[in-house]
Chains A and B, each alone.
Chain A
Amino acid sequence: MVPITSGMAINQVAVIPVGMSPVHCLRLVRRFSGNHISSIILAVSDETENYGERICELCENLEAEVLTCDYKNISTLISNRKEIKEWNLMFGPGTRDMGVSLWFDIVSSTGFPPKNWVQHSRKANSGKGRNISGESLVGVFDHSTKYQLEQVSLEDSLHVYSVSMEDYLSYPELNWSEDETIFQYRIIIPENAKSMDKKKVRKWEEEVFSTIQSLRKLFGKHAIKFSRTLIPSGEKLEYWSTVGSRMRDHGIRGGSA
Chain B
Amino acid sequence: MTEVILPERLVVFPSKGNNAMTLTSIMNAIHYPKIKNNVKSVLLLYDESVKKTTDFDYLKKMLKPTKLIVEELQIPEINDLISKNLNYKIKDGDCILVPALQLHLAMVLHHVSTEVSSVVPPNNAYICFTKPQGNLVRWISVSKSENGGLITEDSEHELPFKSSIDWYFESVQNHTFPNLKILGSVLEQIIKSESETVDLDEWIKSNDLVKITGCKSCENIGFGFEELAAATIEKNHSIHQVVMNVKFASELKGLAPRREEDIIAIHKNGNMLFISCKFNWCKNVEKARDRLNLEIERMKNLKLPFNIPDQRISRILVTTSMASKLVESTEDVYVTNLDGLTPIIENL
Same complex for A and B? Answer yes
How far is B290's CA from A118's CA once the two chains are assembled, in angstroms?
44
Are B303 and A116 touching (Cβ within 8 A)?
Answer: no
Q: Which residues of A contact B147 (CB under 8 A)?
A: 111
A163 CB, min distance to chain B CBs, angstroms: 20
> Whole-angstrom distance between the alpha carbons of A123 and B78 in the complex?
8
What is the 8 Å Cβ interface bit string for chain B, positions 193-217, against chain A (1 contact, 0 not)? 0000000000000000000000000
Candidates B82, B107, B152, B258; contact of A107 at CB < 8 Å = B152
Q: Report Cα–Cα, A108/B138, bound state, in Å.
A: 15
Q: Quick check: A122 and B109 within 8 Å, CB to CB?
A: no
For residue B301, which residues in chain A have a CB less than 8 angstroms away from its CB?
A: 216, 221, 249-251
Q: A91-B102, A104-B154 are in contact. Are A116 and B109 (CB under 8 A)?
A: yes
Using A206-B294, A249-B303, A250-B301 as known contacts, say yes or no to A113 and B103 having CB atoms under 8 A apart.
no
Flag if B258 contacts A250 (CB, 8 Å): no
Tell me whether A100 and B105 are in contact (CB under 8 A). yes
For residue B145, CB closer than 8 A to chain A, the reply is yes
Instruction: Give the Cβ gap from A135 to chain B, nearest Cβ, in Å.
Output: 12
Closest to B129 in A: A100
| Chain B residues whose CB sits within 8 angstroms of the CB of A96 once the complex forms | 98, 100, 102, 105, 129
Interface status of A166 (Cβ within 8 A of chain B): no
Name the interface residues of A42-65: CB closer than 8 Å to any CB of B: none
Nearest A-chain residue to B78, judged by Cβ: A123
Query: Using Cβ atoms and an 8 Å threshold, which residues of chain B touch A113?
Result: 109-110, 113, 117, 150
Known: A213-B297, A221-B301, A249-B298. A143 touches B105 (CB 8 A): no
Give the CA-CA distance A137 to B144 in the complex, in Å.
29
Q: Does B192 contact A (CB under 8 A)?
A: no
- A217–B303 Cα distance when bound, in Å, is 18
* With A138-B82, A221-B301 as contacts: A100 and B259 at CB distance below 8 Å: no
Give the CA-CA distance A122 to B154 in the complex, in Å: 35
Say if the beta carbon of A243 comes within 8 Å of chain B: no
Q: Which of A111, A116, A216 has the most CB of B within 10 A?
A: A116
User: Is there an interface contact between B297 and A209, defined as CB atoms closer than 8 Å?
Assistant: yes
Q: Is the CB of B106 within 8 A of A123?
A: no
CB distance from B348 to the nearest CB of A (A): 20
From residue B211, how far is it (CB to closest CB) to chain A in Å? Answer: 32
In contact, B98 and A143 (Cβ under 8 angstroms):
no
For the A-B complex with A111-B145, A116-B107, A249-B303 known, give 11 more contacts whose Cβ atoms are closer than 8 Å: A91-B103, A96-B102, A96-B105, A100-B138, A107-B150, A112-B150, A118-B107, A123-B79, A249-B302, A250-B297, A251-B303
